[in-house]
Structure 1
Amino acid sequence: MVKSHVLVISFPGQGHVIPIMELAQRLVEQGVKVTFVSTEVIHNTVTSTWINKDGYKDLMKIVSIPDGLDSWDDRSDLSKLLKSISQTMPGKLEELIESIDKEDDSKVTCIIADLTMPWAIRVAKKLGITSATFWLASVATLASILSVQKLLDDGIINDKGILLKDGMIRLSENMHPIKTSNIWWVCFDDLALIEATFQLVLEAKEVSSWPEWFLCNSTTELEAAALSEYPQLSPIGPLLASNRLADQVGHFWQEDPTCLEWLDQQETSSVIYIAFGSFTLFNQTQFEELAIGLELSNKPFLWVVRPGMTKETTTTFPNGYMERIGSRGRIVSWAPQQKVLSHPSVACFMSHCGWNSTLEGLTNGLPFLCWPYFGDQFQDKSYICDIWKTGLGFNKNEEGIITHGEIKSKIEELFNNEMFRAKALGIREKVASSITKGGSSYSNFSKFIEWILEKDSHANNQHNK
């Protein structure tokens, strides 16, 4: 009978659910029972798109608790969502754990919480359950949370998290300088969202030292300087389904696998893959400039245009666009990204530089064209362009638009300079070494599994008191 029973809880965002769902599946592969917890809306979305969800039915349950908002509320209003989550979900999580312990044959022995759900760590402490926290973005981004007191003391931000000083700073001697305007929570346009996010940052910093393990989706091969500052971190990344030859799960939209057949028909290292994640929004002018830039590149391209990607009600392509690009361009609403990026036809990745996408591109040795939108994406772009030197960024004009000429120019520069590809392939080799047997991430994950299994008996005893 399975004794270890881990409850895993994720923030309700696409970029959070995918890596934490991957972590959950790896636990299951090691014989650990997992209850994956999300909000009701995310639960319904993920289970509707996960075709093979019965594959783990014996050891993995996917359950939901309410986020406190009504069905008609706008969950893209993140400040409203954050407040509702913190008010509603802690009590609901306690109720869930109590019901599991009464009805299940194995009680919850450990809680793994997304650090952006810090209240879940408080629940674990209150109930006497061992815990681990998981940080799914870069360690450089995490550093701004762990250094929040320094940012306050130095007058970089005020007590509401709002930026006071624009310039370059070092969070530590070993880490590369960052723009203060790139601190991830100050990038939002909405002051209410900055304040709500900053409150989460303060709570995350407070509880960050409580769990027995602090896991992160990175590797020493990518972030040696940042990781050297935080010996309490255990990097176990990149957590990608493709690394274990499995299908990625946790998508909010149905993937279109037919684009893989289209890629099969293209020449090796010829295709530009364009995808901007689940949040990026364009106005119609910017969208059309991108479309024309891709057209003028004369390169084959696969472009993910998800529903609601533009601020306008409907996404409109330039007149006659589809006829002009013909079969040279393929446009889909959502793609099986890990499979796309590993396809030999793909030459480069035009990306918003979310950490998941960054890891997926790096793992496949691809150079980047960087188009960050918000949050941690600007720091990820800095890694790609300034530290690893595996990609290029775009420059905006006076109106804040990246023009079709700029897009065409940067595509040509990336394709004509072999240095980007060579450096990307070098990074790929380093990352691959970390996740194979004997590598740093492999070893850390193995130790974590051992800890879960060893702590099981103790946790059960504590929980029964």
Structure 2
Amino acid sequence: MSPPVLVMPLPEQGHVIPLMELSHRLVEHGLEVTFVCTEHIHKLLLGGGATDEAALGGVRLVSVPDGLADSDDRRDLGKVLDGFTRSIPAHMEELIRVTKAEWLVADSTIVGWCSEVAKKLGVRVACFFPASAAYLGTLLRIPQLIEEGIFDANGFPERQEALERAPNMPPLYPAQMPWSVAGGPEGQQAFFRLVSRNAEATRNADVVVCNTFLDAERTALGLYPEILPIGPLLSRKKKSPVAGQFLPEDTGCLQWLDAHSDKSVVYVAFGTSSAFDPGEIRALAEGLERTGRPFLWVVRPDFTADAAAGSGGGVWTKEWFDGFKERVAGKAMVVSWCAQQQVLAHPAVACFVTHCGWNSTMEAVMNGVPILCWPYFLDHFTHQSYICDIWRTGLAVSPGQDGVGVTKEEVSIKVEQMVTDIGIAQRARSLSDAAHRGLAPGGSSFQNFNTFLKLLGLKERPAAF
């Protein structure tokens, strides 16, 4: 009998989806998986009121309090982390006892809060990182980076410039570390301590796995050999909803794409948490309109706070946006959310304008879609370096002459370059082929996943990933 496994993600969309996909793979190979999420996320995942296992393909779902009040903003990562820090340890021991877990597969961003309890009860720990190995490796080397004078003992950058680490490796951006988003100096120091604690727990884990693949990050994986790449972890059911989605998806856009020729549509989406300046979003809208090309644009209600409020100092208003949608109605489609993996797999999509979150990046890579980068924060800049400088499968937007905002002219010019550049398209297809080879029997991710399964206690080698 295979040992029970407890899976624990950070309660954020970009972390839940890949860990849910990993959970499905474990269940398919005979492991008993319990997926732990907060009560708030539990409601979002189930939504329709179906039983847990029926809704999630055999993955058992249990919920715990997130430590926040009903009125707290769960889009505030600092609050989410603070609440989770206080709530999870009190429930961890009971979860392990009830599930009889022998392994804890924990998100590396929260493992420091639960690994001590797991180890005390004799439970082995696997750390999962949902972004790039290059970024994870940086976090795992925090003590060395302090010794080298790149950060001080409180995590504040001693150097501001991007630092080259190795050929074919994204530079280190000292000002784009996780704790840099935590507000003032006191908050950043506290967040730095949390990140350092998680990094130490990750270093001490029985195994560290990452949602990446060898040909995408060969140099980084050589520098950080303790990281086992098992990705990209994407749904293999291209015509089914992706498990782990928080928001209802507009499936009508797939029929809309069906009406367009191959490689003709510009797809635009910026994930679940990126929030842009109203002026830049208007520049994006007008830039897309200037191209004259068909586009599918995901605009969340909270994409920008001013947009959600229907204001924006004359830059973005509901009236302006309604007028924009009327002007482009014959050429474009605007939705509040969509089935992104299915959209990127559609032959009509020519390029992807995105914030460069790792899930979005891997989804584009798997489908051979060129990327126009508009990074928001943190590891997005690392991923932009991969896309533009190392893989050369995309371009990046640049600020205007004032150095502040991206202009509509810049958007239209870069989109046109993306759609017409044959070299970028060829390199994107080549990288896609490499990703698929890695997942195929005998490929590097296939073999690494088998190694991971054996560590978890699976006796027989699986026939497929």
TM-score (normalised: structure 2): 0.91
Could you tell me which of 102, 110, 120 is aligned with 1:117?
110
Structure 1 residues 175, 284: CA separation in 2 closer, same or farther (over 3 Å shift)? closer
- Shift in Å at residue 170 of structure 1? 3.7
- Structure 1: where are the runs of 5+ without partners? 102-106, 457-465
- Equivalent residue for 2:350? 347
> Does the CA contact (< 8 Å) of 1:184 and 1:374 recur in 2?
no
- Shift in Å at residue 454 of structure 1? 5.0
- Equivalent residue for 1:211? 205
Letter in 2 for 1:48: G
Report the 3-state secondary structure (helix = DSSP H, G, I; strand = E; otherwise coil) of the residue aligned with 2:305.
coil
Q: What are the within-5 Å matches in structure 2 for residues 266-281 of structure 1?
A: 266-281=260-275
Structure 1 residues 244, 55: CA separation in 2 closer, same or farther (over 3 Å shift)? farther
Q: Deviations over 1:315-370 (max 9, x none)?
A: 63446212211221101111100000000000000010000000000111111110
Q: Distance in 2 between matches of 1:254 and 1:56?
A: 15
Letter in 1 for 2:30: G
The answer as to 2:433 corresponding to 1:440 is no
Structure 1 residues 71, 455: CA separation in 2 closer, same or farther (over 3 Å shift)? farther
Letter in 1 for 2:67: G
The answer as to 2:168 corresponding to 1:169 is no
> Does the CA contact (< 8 Å) of 1:242 and 1:248 recur in 2?
no
- Shift in Å at residue 69 of structure 1? 1.3
Identity %: 39
- Shift in Å at residue 60 of structure 1? 2.2
Q: What are the within-5 Å matches in structure 2 for residues 44-443 of structure 1?
A: 44-48=43-47, 54-55=53-54, 59-98=58-97, 100-101=98-99, 107-118=100-111, 119-171=113-165, 175-186=169-180, 191=185, 194-242=188-236, 247-312=241-306, 313-314=309-310, 316=318, 317-318=320-321, 320-397=323-400, 398=402, 400-443=404-447
> Does the CA contact (< 8 Å) of 1:49 and 1:253 recur in 2?
no
C-alpha RMSD of the superposition? 2.3
Letter in 1 for 2:245: H
Q: Distance in 1 between matches of 2:240 and 2:444?
A: 22
- Equivalent residue for 1:463? none
- Shift in Å at residue 172 of structure 1? 5.8
Q: Distance in 2 between matches of 1:246 and 1:447?
A: 28
Q: Distance in 1 between matches of 2:426 and 2:92?
A: 48
Q: Distance in 2 between matches of 1:174 and 1:346?
A: 28
> Does the CA contact (< 8 Å) of 1:79 and 1:196 recur in 2?
no
> Does the CA contact (< 8 Å) of 2:170 and 2:382 recur in 1?
no
Q: Deviations over 1:26-82 (max 9, x none)?
A: 111111111100111111112217989644778421111112111112223322332
Q: Distance in 1 between matches of 2:326 and 2:47?
A: 34
> Does the CA contact (< 8 Å) of 1:137 and 1:216 recur in 2?
yes
Q: Distance in 2 between matches of 1:35 and 1:244?
A: 25
- Equivalent residue for 2:453? 449
Moved more, 114-123 or 30-39: 114-123
Write out the 4+ residue segments of structure 1 that deviate beyond 6 Å after TM superposition.
Answer: 49-52
Letter in 2 for 1:261: Q
Letter in 2 for 1:347: A
- Equivalent residue for 1:461? none
Q: Distance in 1 between matches of 2:356 and 2:51?
A: 28
Q: Distance in 2 between matches of 1:410 and 1:254?
A: 31
TM-score (normalised: structure 1): 0.91
- Equivalent residue for 2:15? 16
Q: Distance in 1 between matches of 2:65 and 2:459?
A: 30
Aligned residues: 449
- Shift in Å at residue 247 of structure 1? 3.7
- Shift in Å at residue 88 of structure 1? 2.0
- Equivalent residue for 1:462? none
- Shift in Å at residue 414 of structure 1? 1.5
> Does the CA contact (< 8 Å) of 2:75 and 2:273 recur in 1?
no
- Shift in Å at residue 17 of structure 1? 0.3
> Does the CA contact (< 8 Å) of 1:145 and 1:204 recur in 2?
no
- Equivalent residue for 1:104? none
Q: Deviations over 1:410-457 (max 9, x none)?
A: 11122222111011011111111000100010111112212222599x
- Equivalent residue for 2:463? none
Structure 1 residues 245, 28: CA separation in 2 closer, same or farther (over 3 Å shift)? farther
Letter in 1 for 2:327: R
Q: Distance in 2 between matches of 1:185 and 1:304?
A: 28
